[in-house]
Structure 1
Amino acid sequence: MKDIPPQNKSFWSLFPGNALQIQCYQCEEMKHNDCSTPEYIVNCTVNVQDMCQKEVLVKPDGIHYRKSCASSGACLIASSGYQQFCTGRLNSVCISCCNTPLCNGSKRKRPVPSAATSNLQTNQPLILFLLALKLLLLP
């Protein structure tokens, strides 16, 4: 797989006989979740690091993030071990594990519905009434 560009390696890892490799975001002590951008993407160690890990630390100066590749065993042990410290308050530490590419990035924001969608949902009872009326008036 040396000739395959890094962005295509995850595609080839889906085929039997090829080593499994996941990509994760990796950074240390970043504030404001800044490291969920392309320059922080790393290829994890083949067949060893099969998960992405995300640590959220609440410190006096704000929320800090650590993101990395991890082995499933180590990540799951760490996340369960720190569960009691995951309070969201000062000095809180939350560790989460996931196993899909780049899953330790920032959460996607929900899309804001467009005006057309909002109007359609608001007028839905009126539209249904008019359709029912039209069906009643048909010969």
Structure 2
Amino acid sequence: MCQINRHISNKNANAADDEKVAALQIQCYQCEEVKHNDCSTPEFIVNCTVNVQDMCQKEVLVREDGVHYRKSCASSGACLIASSGYQQFCTGKLHSVCISCCNTPLCNGPRQKKRPVPSAGPAALPLIAPGLFLISLLALRA
């Protein structure tokens, strides 16, 4: 299921050739001051304003009573200015404020958990020196 909606609009209403332009609309999570990152569920998904709000924004605030989240749609200019302006306050400690911007559907939700790396098997092979690895492959084929 794709989370980007496409809208067709006239490039120029008076143009005789009636050219069409596709406008992208991103979807983001939107909530105010929630704890435990719990606004990343379907009821908090919103359609951002077409051609205006082209990014998702996430604010993480560390307060005395815990970590709070604000999530919203944002324009790229406003989001990037806010995130760089608050960078010095993004310490992870009490009273910390971190603002991040992203431009893919629902990217301001929870981070995806990384898959564990297998302890043996093909993923462990790159740990062998590249030359030895090639020699062992050639030996197996001979």
2:65 equivalent among 58, 61, 66:
61
Match for 2:116: what amino acid?
V
RMSD across aligned C-alpha pairs, in angstroms?
2.9
Q: What is the alpha-carbon distance in structure 2 between the residues aligned to residue 120 and residue 71 of structure 1?
A: 45
Shift of 1:121: 5.4
Percent identical: 70
TM-score normalized with structure 1 length: 0.74
Q: What is the alpha-carbon distance in structure 2 between the residues aligned to residue 72 and residue 133 of structure 1?
A: 53
Shift of 1:12: 3.0
Residues 134 and 76 of structure 1: CA distance in aligned 2, closer, same or farther (over 3 Å): closer
Deviations 1:48-87 (A, max 9, x none): 1111000000011111110000111111111111111111
Q: What is the alpha-carbon distance in structure 1 between the residues aligned to residue 123 and residue 24 of structure 2?
A: 48
Residues 20 and 134 of structure 1: CA distance in aligned 2, closer, same or farther (over 3 Å): closer
2:43 equivalent among 31, 39, 42:
39
TM-score normalized with structure 2 length: 0.72
2:6 equivalent among 6, 12, 21:
12
Structure 1: which 4+ aligned runs deviate by more than 4 Å?
Answer: 121-125
Q: 1:97 and 2:74 equivalent? A: no
SS in structure 1 of the partner of residue 73 of structure 2 = strand
Structure 2, unaligned stretches of length 5 or more?
Answer: 9-19, 129-134
Q: What is the alpha-carbon distance in structure 2 between the residues aligned to residue 55 and residue 110 of structure 1?
A: 22
Shift of 1:132: 3.7
In proportion to residue count, which structure has more strand? 2
Structure 1, unaligned stretches of length 5 or more?
Answer: 1-6
Q: Which residue of 1 aligns with 2:121?
A: 120
Count of aligned residue pairs for this structure pair: 125
